[in-house]
């Protein structure tokens, strides 16, 4: 048995944390995401009657930061002296960069903006846009991308009825993260890493469900970085951890003049894809065999937790972005939250789903064979701070040289409790994605095959009975935060 023992099987066991179902990966044709009948569309909730109120209370209803800071848009600003971040809200739904920022009328659909380094602005001239479009069109059919693809890539490993990819992550080539805010000075001696999640059909379906969740929360936007104009005229996009490639294909369909490249450890992508998309089976934490200043947007969604060396990855993204290009991270924060008191605090009453996320984080951190884990573990170890991930990522982006760091925060409900239709759909998708992902998420982090917590299969299954009950509990109005952070590479 591992260092951390599982909870007992009695009904009074202590529980402390904790992933909808359509398979719409295979598609052809173009159009905006909202025009496809197979996608989950969002819709606008409208603007708030008091758009300044949320900024005055810290954006998510928490206590006001109390100190006003610089305000390039002329709107109210809250300041957090701990992180140096500024908080903005917009009454008219737009900001100086043309980015949509209307606050939803539903409390669980509203969001606010987090600046930590300046307001993004226009960074390219029409001449530069035209040159980029011509270059993209000229290279759309060429393959500048190489990878360490061998026959082993298509092989799979089977554990307890779950299918995992056979392509192991290379050991980190730069110092490994020893804490949550940056790399240590010690060299890593670790061997090849295993990815924690399976790559079977269940996981493919979950990947598409999570795409639907993101579209609902982001009101059918695929990204928030202000690069729409650039991509319409022709640009380059790199999708890290592309999974089934559904996000990359949607971007390619919406911006047919843009070349989209996706990279993933697993060959999960469909055979029929838009002509301006290509996929590489490789490790995005290895060196990118690409020229510098290549991309207008580097994107990652739901994969930040699995990165071993975030500092090195951010430096690599910075190097390969064009001046003025953007990097964007979209992630669900693994914290079970509640605003109406239906979820008692952990010290008052246990909750198996809350425990699940905590144990997964502990397992990822404990194992020396699983990729990532330090960020997941740090977040779940302090459930009182849902903004910890933002603070960590903002600091690391700034250290890599990025400016205009900005985070948009959404709340994704769990289950069908919201009254607002789109949020109810989002909650049902999240509930189904979680239910289908429990075995995959628990097998390696909690079990013995990857030196996780050392639980037996029976112990895991007994615990998951209570986790499923917690997920299906309609009396608890829980949600999980989804945070989108993007930042810009300076022009000079």
Q: Are 283 and 251 in contact (CB under 8 A)?
A: no
- For 266-292, the pLDDT digits (tens) are 888 998 999 999 999 988 999 998 999
Where does residue 469 rank: exposed (0-12), middle (13-18), buried (19+ CB within 10 A)? exposed
Distances (CA, A) of 372 to 356, 362, 378: 17, 11, 11
- For 388-418, the pLDDT digits (tens) are 888 999 999 999 999 999 999 999 999 999 9
pLDDT value, residue 106? 31
Cβ neighbours of 485 (radius 10 Å): 24
Paired tokens of 300: 């990652």
In the chain, what are the domain boundaries? Answer: 33-47+92-488
What's the mean pLDDT in 216-220? 97
Question: Does an H or E element contain 393, and which?
Answer: helix 388-400
Polymer length in residues for the chain: 492
pLDDT value, residue 127? 47
Nearest to 394 by CA among 11, 116, 31, 86: 116
In terms of DSSP H, where are the helices of 218-300?
Answer: 228-233, 246-254
pLDDT value, residue 466? 98
The answer, yes or no, to whether residue 170 has pLDDT greater than 60, is: no
What's the mean pLDDT in 148-177? 61
The answer, yes or no, to whether residue 431 has pLDDT greater than 90, is: yes
- Give the chain's mean pLDDT: 73
100 forms beta bridges with 94
User: pTM of the entire structure?
Assistant: 0.68
% of the chain surpassing 90 pLDDT: 49
The answer, yes or no, to whether residue 37 has pLDDT greater than 50, is: no
* Class of the CATH-defined domain 33-47+92-488: alpha beta
- Return the higher-pLDDT residue of 357 and 2: 357
What's the mean pLDDT in 200-214? 95
The C-alpha atoms of residue 223 and residue 225 are separated, in whole angstroms, by 6
Q: Are 265 and 192 in contact (CB under 8 A)?
A: no
pLDDT value, residue 266? 87
- For 248-270, the pLDDT digits (tens) are 999 999 999 999 999 998 888 99
What's the mean pLDDT in 181-203? 59
Half-sphere exposure of 234 (CA within 13 A, CB side): 16
Calculate the CA 70 to chain-centre distance. Answer: 29
The answer, yes or no, to whether residue 218 has pLDDT greater than 90, is: yes
Half-sphere exposure of 121 (CA within 13 A, CB side): 7
- Return the higher-pLDDT residue of 297 and 150: 297
The C-alpha atoms of residue 395 and residue 411 are separated, in whole angstroms, by 23
The C-alpha atoms of residue 102 and residue 415 are separated, in whole angstroms, by 25
Cβ neighbours of 122 (radius 10 Å): 11
What's the mean pLDDT in 175-195? 40
216 three-class SS: helix
Confidence of residue 294 (pLDDT cuts 50, 70, 90): very high
Q: What secondary structure does DSSP assign to 453-466, as a single string? A: S---HHHHHHHHHH
The answer, yes or no, to whether residue 90 has pLDDT greater than 70, is: no
């Amino acid at each position: 048995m591992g260092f951390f023992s599982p909870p007992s099987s009695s009904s009074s066991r202590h529980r402390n944390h904790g992933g909808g179902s359509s398979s719409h990966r295979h598609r052809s044709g173009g159009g905006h995401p909202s025009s496809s009948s197979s996608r989950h569309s969002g819709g606008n909730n409208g603007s708030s009657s008091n758009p300044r109120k949320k900024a005055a209370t810290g954006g998510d209803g928490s206590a006001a930061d109390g100190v006003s800071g610089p305000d390039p848009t002329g709107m109210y600003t809250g300041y957090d002296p701990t992180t140096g971040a500024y908080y903005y809200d917009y009454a008219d739904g737009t900001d100086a960069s043309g980015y949509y920022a209307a606050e939803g009328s539903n409390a669980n659909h509203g969001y606010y903006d987090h600046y930590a380094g300046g307001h993004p602005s226009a960074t390219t001239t029409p001449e530069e846009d035209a040159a980029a479009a011509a270059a993209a069109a000229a290279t759309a059919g060429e393959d500048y991308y190489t990878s360490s693809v061998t026959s082993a890539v298509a092989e799979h490993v089977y554990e307890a009825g779950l299918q995992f990819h056979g392509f192991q992550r290379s050991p980190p080539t730069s110092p490994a993260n020893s804490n949550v805010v940056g790399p240590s000075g010690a060299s890593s001696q670790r061997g090849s890493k295993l990815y924690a999640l399976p790559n079977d059909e269940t996981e493919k379906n979950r990947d598409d469900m999570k795409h639907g969740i993101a579209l609902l929360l982001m009101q059918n936007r695929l990204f928030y970085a202000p690069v729409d104009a650039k991509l319409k005229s022709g640009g380059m996009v790199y999708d890290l951890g592309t999974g089934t490639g559904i996000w990359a294909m949607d971007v390619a369909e919406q911006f047919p003049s843009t070349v989209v490249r996706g990279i993933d450890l697993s060959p999960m992508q469909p055979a029929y894809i838009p002509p301006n998309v290509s996929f590489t089976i490789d490790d995005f934490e290895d060196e990118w065999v690409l020229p510098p200043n290549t991309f207008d947007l580097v994107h990652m969604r739901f994969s930040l937790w699995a990165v071993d060396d975030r500092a090195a990855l951010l430096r690599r993204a910075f190097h390969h972005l064009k001046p003025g290009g953007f990097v964007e991270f979209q992630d669900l924060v693994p914290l079970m939250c509640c605003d109406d008191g239906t979820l008692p605090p952990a010290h008052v009453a246990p909750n198996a789903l809350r425990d699940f996320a905590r144990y997964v984080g502990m397992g990822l951190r404990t194992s020396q064979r699983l990729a990532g884990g330090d960020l997941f573990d740090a977040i779940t170890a302090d459930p009182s701070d849902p903004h910890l991930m933002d603070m960590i990522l903002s600091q690391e982006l700034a250290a890599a040289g990025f400016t205009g760091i900005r985070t948009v925060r959404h709340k994704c409900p769990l289950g069908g409790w919201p009254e607002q239709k789109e949020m109810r759909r989002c909650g049902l998708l999240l509930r189904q994605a979680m239910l289908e992902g429990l075995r995959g998420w628990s097998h390696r982090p909690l079990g013995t095959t990857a030196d996780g917590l050392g639980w037996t299969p029976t112990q895991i299954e007994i615990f998951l009975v209570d986790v499923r009950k917690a997920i299906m509990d309609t009396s608890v109005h829980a949600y999980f935060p989804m945070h989108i952070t993007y930042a810009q590479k300076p022009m000079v």
